Amino acid sequence: MNINNGINVLSLFDGISVAQLAFTQLEIKINNYFASEIDNNPIKVTQHHFPGTIQLGDVCEVDGTKLPEIDLLIFGSPCQDLSSMKKDRTGLTGEKSGLFFEALRILKEVNPKYFLMENVGSMSKYDRKVISDLLGVKPIHINSNLLTGQNRNRIYWTNIPNLTKPNDSKIQLKNIIEDGYVDRKKSNAILTKNVPYTKNGLIRYLKKSLGGVVFTDSEFATLTKKQKLAYIEPLNDEQVRKLYRPFTSVELERLQSLPDGYVSEVLKKTPTHHAIGNSFTTNVIQHILSHAEF
């Protein structure tokens, strides 16, 4: 197909429409972009940037047989039941991650030229094999740290041919923060909810390597984890807050290789962070889609 004629895309669990952003950056014309999403906040972001998006609502209600020919079906079904962060994870039998089977149904209905699925790298080998067998392709592991400043290990299943991992762009966390100091080359994976801005929040960051912080004092930033914990042990919340801050919304956008303000200029702070944490890493999606021949 000649891309000058445009393509039709169906995005399930569309979120903030990162795939649409990636196509725009690749200068590939989209005739129709169909999106299935039920959260009003990311929908607001999508419609702000791409008002022509055709919203289809709940994935369970999408009838692929009623859509025009689809060139690409893309989805990242909910990961909550698949992630190792959930102690009692139920995998594909879980209520949220089980929505993968709705995506599989729609995939069969639309029979697109290409499909692309993303999910967490920490899922069990069993669930990974089930997905691979049902989709009929072997997955590729791509950590977002190759193209941005965060560690975000993800698995991608696609029939786009000749796909390889991207070259390391050497971007470090210090390259994306607005001010301050950091104690690592790459941030932890962005979560929908960061650690609390308290003494216990910093302890959690240091002990469990969760969330992301920027230090306001260069000397404190260079201390070892053990030294940091010993230093803050006698301090209260107010004193500890002077030593660090959470990532700003713009920094979170940069970690997902989103344009500054893409989400934060549309939504308030809390829904902004939720939407960013649930999104794809733009540069990774752009890299994968660049291998497709429409």
- The residues annotated as belonging to the active site are 79
Question: Distance between CA atoms of 40 and 226, rounded to whole angstroms?
Answer: 43
Question: Distance between CA atoms of 93 and 102, rounded to whole angstroms?
Answer: 13
Question: Distance between CA atoms of 142 and 155, rounded to whole angstroms?
Answer: 6
For 47, residues 6+ apart whose C-beta sits below 8 A from its C-beta are: 53, 55
Q: How many helices, marked H, and strands, marked E, lie in the chain?
A: 11, 9
45: which 2 tokens?
Answer: 């972001």
Helix (H), strand (E), coil (C) string for 53-120: CEECCCHHHCCHHHCCCCCEEEECCCCCCCCCCCCCCCHHHCCCHHHHHHHHHHHHHHCCCEEEEEEE
Question: Distance between CA atoms of 104 and 87, rounded to whole angstroms?
Answer: 26
160: which 2 tokens?
Answer: 């786009």
For 189, residues 6+ apart whose C-beta sits below 8 A from its C-beta are: 144, 150, 151, 152, 153
